[in-house]
Amino acid sequence: MDTKTKNQKAVKDAPAATLESTAEMLRAPAAAPLVPMPLEVLVPEARQQTPAVRQRAQRPDCRLHGLGQTKYIDDMYLPGMLYAKIKRAGVASAKIISIDTSEAEAMPGVVAVITGKDVPCNTFGPSLKDQPVLADSRVFHAGDGVAAVAAITEQIAADAVEKIKVEYEILRPVVDPLESLQLETPGLHAPNPNIYGRKIIKKGDIEKGFAESDHIFEASFRTQMVEHVPLEPHASLATWDANGRVTIYSTLGRITLGRADVARTLAMPMSRVRIIATIVGGNFGGKNEITTEPVVALLAKKTGRPVKCTFTRPEEFISSTTRHPLIMDYKTGVTRQGRILARKIRLVLDGGAYCSWSETTLGKACILSAGPYNIDNLLAEAYVVYTNKTMTGAMRGFGAPQVCFAYESHMDDMAKALNIDPLEMRLRNVLEEGSLSPTSQKLHSVVIKESLIQAAERFGWNANGNGAAA
What number of chain residues touch another protein (CB under 8 A)?
A: 43
Contact set for another protein, span 213-272 (CB under 8 A): 228-233
Closest distance of CB 288 from another protein, Å: 15
CA distance 170 to 313: 26
Stretch that binds another protein, among 59-67, 142-150, 269-277, 436-444 (CB under 8 A): 59-67
One character per residue 325-354, x = contact with another protein (rule: CB under 8 A): ------------------------------
Residue 9 touches another protein, criterion: CB under 8 A: no
Residue 279 touches another protein, criterion: CB under 8 A: yes
Closest distance of CB 55 from another protein, Å: 13
- Contact yes or no for 83/151 (Cβ under 8 A): yes
Q: Where are the alpha helices (DSSP H) in 85-201?
A: 102-106, 154-163, 177-181
Closest distance of CB 78 from another protein, Å: 14
Sign of CA dihedral 72, 266, 396, 311: positive
Residue 75 touches another protein, criterion: CB under 8 A: yes
Give, in order, the Cα–Cα distances in Å from 394 to each of 126, 285, 356, 391. 11, 5, 8, 10
Residue 162 touches another protein, criterion: CB under 8 A: yes
Answer for which of 59, 442, 444, 458 binds another protein (CB under 8 A) is 59
Closest distance of CB 431 from another protein, Å: 29
Residue 11 touches another protein, criterion: CB under 8 A: no
Answer for which of 10, 14, 19, 74 binds another protein (CB under 8 A) is 74
CA distance 350 to 389: 9
Beta bridge partners of 221: 328
3-state secondary structure 276-290: EECCCCCCCCCCCCC
Residue 145 touches another protein, criterion: CB under 8 A: no
Residue 176 touches another protein, criterion: CB under 8 A: no
Q: Which residues of 87-110 are buried (b: 16+ CB within 10 A; e: fewer)?
A: bbbebbbbebeebebeebeeeeeb
Stretch that binds another protein, among 58-66, 128-136, 252-260, 378-386 (CB under 8 A): 58-66
**Which residue lies nearer to another protein by CB, 26 or 276?**
26
Residue 27 touches another protein, criterion: CB under 8 A: yes
- Contact yes or no for 104/113 (Cβ under 8 A): yes
**Which residue lies nearer to another protein by CB, 74 or 408?**
74
Answer for which of 103, 130, 159, 424 binds another protein (CB under 8 A) is 159
Beta bridge partners of 201: 380
Tell me which H or E stretch contains 350.
strand 340-350
Residue 284 touches another protein, criterion: CB under 8 A: yes
Contacts of residue 290, defined as CB under 8 A and 6 or more positions apart, other chains included, come to 124, 250, 252, 258, 261, 262, 265
One character per residue 293-322, x = contact with another protein (rule: CB under 8 A): -----------------x-xxx--------
Residue 62 touches another protein, criterion: CB under 8 A: yes
Q: Environment class of residue 295 by beta-carbon count within 10 Å: exposed (0-12), middle (13-18) or buried (19+)?
A: buried
CA distance 395 to 340: 30
Residue 373 DSSP class: B
Answer for which of 20, 61, 169, 212 binds another protein (CB under 8 A) is 61
DSSP, collapsed to helix, strand or coil, labels residue 429 as helix
CA distance 62 to 57: 12
Residue 29 touches another protein, criterion: CB under 8 A: yes
Closest distance of CB 47 from another protein, Å: 30
Site of interaction with another protein (CB under 8 A)? 3, 23, 27-32, 57-59, 61-72, 74-75, 155, 159, 162, 228-233, 279-282, 284, 310, 312-314
